[in-house]
């Protein structure tokens, strides 16, 4: 038996639970907060990790793991290099997706939204809270560009260590983005692969309408 077949045969037994309609209410952001706070108290590794999906100029989809650093009343915040692949793709097309998967809780949340930069003061405040090594790394790494050798990166780190022996300012090419959602899909694992899927979509009146999807 192949490893893939062995994995397929090792079915996870999904638990019974309340259907999503009974716990969701009419506000998907409130439901996300409730799930996130509950999961953050459980033994779920890196609950703030999510898959960020972007599209490049050739309409090729791209995805990578990033970390949620804050959620506002109507937006989700993460930080990166503005000149990175994802930064340039967001500049070209600010329609993005987010996917959280919490395996231990058998839950996932898929979000569509529009992405834009947050105010510089917010980026400054977060950058100042980072460890010194991470601050130096933000200067040293020309993220996503070609790197000839690891030694070249080490040389850049040494250069910026010398340039900023005390306070390390935030690079102008590094900062935060916020994603304002217009669609949520909540997924709750249930027995016999008959999972709950509940979708919320923002209307023109800035309210939310919901519907259920087949598992």
* Closest alpha carbon to 188 in 102, 95, 96: 102
Q: pTM of this prediction?
A: 0.87
- Lowest-confidence region among 52-66, 89-103, 172-186, 201-215: 201-215
CA distance 28 to 181: 10
Catalytic residue, candidates 33, 103, 193, 212: 193
% of the chain residues with pLDDT over 70: 88
Q: Say which residue, 42 or 199, is predicted with more confidence.
A: 199
Q: What dihedral angle (degrees, nearest 10) is formed by the CA atoms of 65, 49, 68, 173?
A: -30
Whether pLDDT at 109 is above 90: yes
Domains delineated in the chain: 11-123+176-212 (2.30.110.10)
Angle at 119 between CA 144 and CA 62, to 5 degrees: 30
% of the chain residues with pLDDT over 90: 77
Strands (E), the chain: 49-55, 61-67, 70-71, 76-81, 95-102, 107-117, 174-188, 196-202, 208-212
Mean pLDDT, the chain, integer: 90
Of 11-15, 79-83, 142-146, which one has max mean pLDDT?
79-83
Q: CB–CB of 50/68 below 8 Å? A: yes
Can 183 be counted among the known catalytic residues?
no
Whether pLDDT at 23 is above 90: no
Identify the pLDDT of residue 43.
81
């Amino acid at each position: 038996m192949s490893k893939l077949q062995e994995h397929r045969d090792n079915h996870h037994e999904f638990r019974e639970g309340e259907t999503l309609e009974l716990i969701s209410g009419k506000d998907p952001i409130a439901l996300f907060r409730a799930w996130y706070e509950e999961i953050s108290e459980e033994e779920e590794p890196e609950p703030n990790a999510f898959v960020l999906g972007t599209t490049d100029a050739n309409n090729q989809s791209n995805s990578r793991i990033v970390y949620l650093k804050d959620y506002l009343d109507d937006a989700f915040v993460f930080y990166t290099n503005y000149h990175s692949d994802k930064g340039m793709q967001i500049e070209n097309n600010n329609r993005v997706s987010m996917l959280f998967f919490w395996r231990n809780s058998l839950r996932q949340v898929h979000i569509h939204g529009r992405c834009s930069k947050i105010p510089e003061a917010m980026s400054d405040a977060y950058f100042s809270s980072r460890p010194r090594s991470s601050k130096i790394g933000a200067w040293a790494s020309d993220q996503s560009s070609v790197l000839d050798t690891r030694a070249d990166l080490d040389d850049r780190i040494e250069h910026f260590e010398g340039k900023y022996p005390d306070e390390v300012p935030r690079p102008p090419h590094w900062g935060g983005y916020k994603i304002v959602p217009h669609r949520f899909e909540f997924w709750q694992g249930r027995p016999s692969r008959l999972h709950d899927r509940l979708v919320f979509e923002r209307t023109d009146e800035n309210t939310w309408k919901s519907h259920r999807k087949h598992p």
